[in-house]
């Protein structure tokens, strides 16, 4: 199934949060993205299946971390995007 622009943007947001924090609990990802848990769980499962994220449980809670493939996805996605603070005038 093709990824929509909205899904692509959400994927990037999730990956950036995990790159910055290392590991996040599912509820924390929900809070940071402000996306419903049902939508987010489906997307996170897709990202795990694609190798972008690693999912693990500890003490009955579900956590996620970015993989090397996920970091590569960010590099690829960021290659055509203006970096923060560039102003877009160059």
pLDDT in tens, 27-79: 999 999 999 999 999 999 999 999 999 999 999 999 999 999 999 999 987 75
User: Phi and psi at residue 75, in whole multiples of 5°?
Assistant: -65, -45
Asked if residue 86 has pLDDT above 50, the reply is no
pLDDT at 4: 62
pLDDT, position 84: 43
Q: Is the full-model pTM beyond 0.85?
A: no
User: What distance in Å separates the CA atoms of residue 56 and residue 48, rounded to the nearest whole number?
Assistant: 10
What domains lie within the chain, and their CATH numbers?
5-75 (1.10.10.10)
How far apart CA 66 and CA 11 sit, in angstroms, is 11
């Amino acid at each position: 199934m093709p990824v929509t622009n909205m899904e692509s943007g959400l994927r990037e947001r999730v990956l950036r949060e995990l790159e910055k924090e290392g590991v996040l609990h599912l509820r924390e990802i929900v809070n940071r993205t402000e996306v419903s848990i049902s939508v987010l769980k489906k997307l996170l499962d897709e990202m795990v299946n694609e190798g972008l994220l690693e999912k693990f449980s500890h003490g009955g809670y579900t956590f996620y971390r970015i993989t090397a493939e996920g970091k590569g996805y960010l590099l690829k996605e960021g290659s055509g995007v203006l970096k923060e603070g560039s102003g877009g005038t160059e």
